[in-house]
């Protein structure tokens, strides 16, 4: 199993890393200043998205700085270390890009990413994100509710689950040969979870198109579940009647269940889930208690009424 357990992450990593990021920010600012405003303008104009404020945003939390969101990633297609995706994901070609919809739908369809971008107004949605490795971030995503896209897919009544499949292309993704994951990366949601308004079809963050390492050009974001449910760079959506297989459950079924709801009362077999470390915060403020359903219990707990969450972890 490749996921590090929190105890394996040396605390010494935190300080040098933030020092490194501060240096990077300084260098980036100095370079931009040296290049003049023309450089700064050109680099933002190409990536900016026009957004409206999403009413479902989480409020009252400091946003994780952009540099951490884009340099501390899990995207195993580009390597297993947290810094690998930022180094390697430039290889990913995000145009042309299509999502193929198949399975239990009135008729299979293929959507072009540029049409998806125009389907609904793009919202900025600030969400708390909690990784199963016990770190968290607060990210201003850009997108709209996945339910809006699902309606366009016209699923049949028999469809009970949705499966998401990521791109798996050895020419662009050097990490495919470095780990034992059952590629392509596969994730899934029950239909009512997928239709929940909080579940986001995500195309950007911080008002820009998604950086490649965060799952460009389109990913899913499910804020009340551990981060691995949020499949990146998706190319296929399949509507099915049975629970689909998922990448991490295939890898270690006793550690990563299908539901993967954030739950401080159900420990991972190798570590506690009671606390988390907020990436990018000063070290004395990083540790905080993990919240049931990652703080989204009021909105989503009813989806699991009557279910034993120890069994359906
Ligand atoms: N999607 C794909 N295709 N490949 C991956 O390795 N990693 C998952 C998830 N989606 C992953 C993926 C995990 S473990 C996490 S925590 C989140 O992406 C991380 O998203 P971020 O790097 O944008 O924070």
Give per-residue pLDDT as tens, 72-115.
Answer: 999 999 999 999 999 999 999 999 999 999 999 999 999 999 99
Point out which residues pair with 105 in neighbouring strands: 155
Tell whether the model's pLDDT for residue 13 goes beyond 70. no
Domain coverage including residue 294 = 11-304
Q: Which of 73, 92, 132, 230 to mutate to test the pocket of ligand 1 (most atoms within 8 A of CB)?
A: 230
269 in a structural domain = yes
Count of domains forming the chain: 1
188 in a structural domain = yes
From the centroid of its chain, how far is CA 238? 19
Measured from the Cα of 233, ligand 1's closest atom is 3
Would you state the structure tokens that stand for residue 281, as one six-digit string? 């915060």
Would you state the structure tokens that stand for residue 37, as one six-digit string? 């405003």
Q: How many CA atoms lie within 13 A of 175 on its CB side?
A: 27
312 in a structural domain = no
Q: Which of 127, 128, 163, 215 to mutate to test the pocket of ligand 1 (most atoms within 8 A of CB)?
A: 215
From the centroid of its chain, how far is CA 256? 16
92 in a structural domain = yes
Model confidence at 46, pLDDT cuts 50, 70, 90, reads low
86 in a structural domain = yes
Which residue from 109, 93, 90 is spatially nearest to 101, judged by alpha carbons? 109
310 in a structural domain = no
Q: What is the pTM of this model?
A: 0.88
> Ramachandran region of residue 293, left (φ > 0), alpha (ψ -120 to 50) or beta?
left
233 neighbors 96 (Cβ within 8 angstroms):
no
268 in a structural domain = yes
Greater confidence, 120 or 35?
A: 120
* Ligand 1 neighbours (beta carbon < 6 A): 73-77, 131, 166, 185, 214-215, 227-228, 230-233
Point out which residues pair with 204 in neighbouring strands: 142, 209
Tell whether the model's pLDDT for residue 51 goes beyond 50. yes
Segment 207-265, tens digit of pLDDT: 999 999 999 999 999 999 999 999 999 999 999 999 999 999 999 999 999 999 999 99
Tell whether the model's pLDDT for residue 19 goes beyond 70. no
Would you state the structure tokens that stand for residue 245, as one six-digit string? 């297989």
DSSP one-letter code for 261? B
309 in a structural domain = no
Greater confidence, 136 or 18?
A: 136
Q: Which of 74, 84, 130, 220 to mutate to test the pocket of ligand 1 (most atoms within 8 A of CB)?
A: 74
Specify the pLDDT at position 47.
Answer: 86
DSSP H helical ranges for the chain: 14-35, 37-45, 66-69, 84-88, 113-119, 146-153, 191-194, 247-251, 297-300
Beta strands 287-289 and 98-103 are unpaired
Measured from the Cα of 167, ligand 1's closest atom is 3
CATH of the domain at 35: 3.90.420.10
Greater confidence, 22 or 275?
A: 275
Segment 161-211, tens digit of pLDDT: 999 999 999 999 999 999 999 999 999 999 999 999 999 999 999 999 999
């Amino acid at each position: 199993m490749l996921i590090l357990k929190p105890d394996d992450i040396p605390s010494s990593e935190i300080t040098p890393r933030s020092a490194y990021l501060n240096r990077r920010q300084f260098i980036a600012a100095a370079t931009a200043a040296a290049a003049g405003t023309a450089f700064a303008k050109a680099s933002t104009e190409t990536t900016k998205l026009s957004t409206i404020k999403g009413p479902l945003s989480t409020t009252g939390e400091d946003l994780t700085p952009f540099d951490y969101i884009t340099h501390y990633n899990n995207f195993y297609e580009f390597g297993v270390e947290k810094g690998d995706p930022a180094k390697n994901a430039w290889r990913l070609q995000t145009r042309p890009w299509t999502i193929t919809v198949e399975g239990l739908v009135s008729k299979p369809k293929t959507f072009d990413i540029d049409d998806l971008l125009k389907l609904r107004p793009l919202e900025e949605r600030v969400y708390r994100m909690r990784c199963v490795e016990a770190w968290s971030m607060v990210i201003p995503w850009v997108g709209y509710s996945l339910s809006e896209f699902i309606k366009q897919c016209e699923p049949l009544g028999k469809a009970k689950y949705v499966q998401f499949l990521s791109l798996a292309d050895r020419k662009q993704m050097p990490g495919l040969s470095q780990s034992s994951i059952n590629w392509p990366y596969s994730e899934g949601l029950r239909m009512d979870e997928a239709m929940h308004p909080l579940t986001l079809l995500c195309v950007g963050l911080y008002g820009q198109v998604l950086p490649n390492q965060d799952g460009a050009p389109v990913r899913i974001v499910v804020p009340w579940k551990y981060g691995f449910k949020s499949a990146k760079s998706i190319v296929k959506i399949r509507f099915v009647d049975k629970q689909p297989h998922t990448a991490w459950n295939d890898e270690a079924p006793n550690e990563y269940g299908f539901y993967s709801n954030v739950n401080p009362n159900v420990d991972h077999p190798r570590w506690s889930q009671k606390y988390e470390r907020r990436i990018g915060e000063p070290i004395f403020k990083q540790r905080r208690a993990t919240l049931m359903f990652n703080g989204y219990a009021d909105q989503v707990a009813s989806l699991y009424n009557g279910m034993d969450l120890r069994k359906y972890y």
